[in-house]
Structure 1
């Protein structure tokens, strides 16, 4: 998951749940989900519901005064071990650098949370350095595509719901790494689970998300890796007839990601599942086996040729050196040239 240079989402979450609180949390970055999630965990953990009445305050950067926030942070809690102060939209707070005054000598009974979204504070600034010294500075980054399946699995695991690797990858290929779009789909699946079931399946995804369990980028890539020409042609033909549900740009991205990673595998001293998992930072042997098979079916020279083809066809889908071929026709030609 997203991480700063010293901390990870999981390590911060673990410390909070063990009630190892820091006096200041600076939660910043482009991915709002991890900022909101850590703030939610702190809200649920630092204080009991009764204690929140007198010991929890929420400020908004757009209409709050830094001196008032600091003054509030210096108070002692009332009939509780801690007080919790959350500053939302902290990036909008005027004179935020004055936080350095408080960060030098924070109240250990106060848990101050600064939500600094859609950007990062300058880590060279004194106030950020002081927070980093005595508290937590966490940068919430957008997930890379190869991190999304693990995120999906983790999301459901926290809710005691299982999901297999194939289904997680299907969702990744369909939605991508934009968590604002992915989370509603995950919540939709959670709600759609039959009472007696605790597992997300490809059938459930097909019914509720709109991804065909047979005709999707995951199955196309699988057919290409296995050199199953019949299956690949059947999927490509389906894509051509349903272009709105299967945008070529997404398919090209999936193929480019796989073959770029496959090329990297050729330079590994040892071409084992464990070595591939380590080099590509994938957690599942299930996907490592796809690369093992790719190494057997596609020589390095062919892989380099495929990467060039993908770049060329990407340009063609954008109208470069292409006068009349439809996306479906282009994809059909591309897959033929990849597999022959």
Structure 2
């Protein structure tokens, strides 16, 4: 389920169109928490929550207890809310909830958080909830979708962020949406003109606009060894913020994308962006890099990066520091 689909479900809740069961599952815990928190804070008013809200945890409850609580009648309220957190710990017995799911209480809103797992479609519970409730599969977004998601989120709140700033946030914070949202909220408070700029990010998140994976990638693409090594030296001194294995993975993905670009016949910005999964803003950078690295060179570089990746993980008997390994890798890539 996409962010737009989650928003549509929340809009139904806003309009008091409820489902008796919401089964939220999958790896994207941000949306599971986001939806659950919204329901928790908005379906009942303050006077109703004391008697009509129950939160149970998978490690400490049973299916029998869940059913018993769900069958209670609300007090001075049209609905009661029952939230099951960490329901993945009930995976062996959860299917026995299927009989209740076939005949749920219409005065109970049951919200099940089933994180990091997906309910088997062949299970009776899946079919029962699908028939009378709602299954919400919260899948991880692809990395290339996250900068656009950052922009869309801020634009919905009347903030402005440009392409480079959104990519800086992604490069620094990774694909953890919870972490991204927390930092966005900080930036919104600090911003005076509702603009999130690269300078604001650099100043307040500790991210250097000159020494980051974004600029390292650009330096490698341009075969600018001096600039690339300056960035490597900075990263080596700030290893907690710039883990070498993450950097190597991003460089590896960069060359995979350049490899793909070579095989594209229609080299329009929109087509390249769509096929290799980058923002159109960066297409020119990738085209320039493809001129510096032939398919033959890229094949060797991909093999070289894999070799260095193993060394950083302690294989091949390497006693060299991770920072030195990164520098060696960059030198060999650019001089290839």
TM superposition score normalised by structure 2: 0.82
1:215 partner SS: coil
1:266 aligns with 2:278: no
- Matches of 1:290 and 1:115 in 2, distance apart? 42
2:119 partner SS: coil
Alignment of structure 1 residues 97-116 onto 2, 5 Å: 97-116=95-114
Alignment of structure 1 residues 143-162 onto 2, 5 Å: 143-162=141-160
Aligned counterpart, 1:287: 282
Distance 1:234 1:15, change over 3 A: same
Partners of 1:2 and 1:34 within 8 A in 2: no
Shift of residue 220, structure 1, vs aligned partner? 1.0
RMSD of equivalent CA atoms: 3.2
Aligned counterpart, 2:307: 312
- Matches of 1:80 and 1:291 in 2, distance apart? 59
1:59 aligns with 2:51: no
Spell out, residue by residue over 1:13-54, the C-alpha distance to the aligned partner (whole angstroms, 9 max, x if none): 344344443221111233322111011222344334444455
Spell out, residue by residue over 1:47-99, the C-alpha distance to the aligned partner (whole angstroms, 9 max, x if none): 34444455433333344453453344345655655443222233345843232
Determine which of 18, 26, 31 is the counterpart of 1:21: 18
Structure 2 segments unaligned to the other structure (5+ residues): none
Aligned counterpart, 1:131: 129
Q: Which moved more, 1:111-120 or 1:12-21?
A: 12-21
- Matches of 2:115 and 2:316 in 1, distance apart? 42
Partners of 2:188 and 2:194 within 8 A in 1: no
- Matches of 1:92 and 1:188 in 2, distance apart? 34
Aligned counterpart, 1:215: 211
Structure 1 segments unaligned to the other structure (5+ residues): none
- Matches of 2:211 and 2:131 in 1, distance apart? 52
Q: Which moved more, 1:47-56 or 1:255-264?
A: 47-56
Determine which of 283, 303, 319 is the counterpart of 2:298: 303
Determine which of 169, 174, 187 is the counterpart of 1:171: 169
Aligned counterpart, 1:33: 30
Q: Which moved more, 1:288-297 or 1:118-127?
A: 288-297
Aligned counterpart, 1:86: 83
Shift of residue 253, structure 1, vs aligned partner? 1.3
Spell out, residue by residue over 1:114-159, the C-alpha distance to the aligned partner (whole angstroms, 9 max, x if none): 1122433333210121102232212333444334333433444454
Alignment of structure 1 residues 195-274 onto 2, 5 Å: 196-274=192-270
Aligned counterpart, 2:39: 42
Q: Which moved more, 1:265-274 or 1:207-216?
A: 265-274
1:214 partner SS: coil
Q: How many residues are paired up?
A: 334
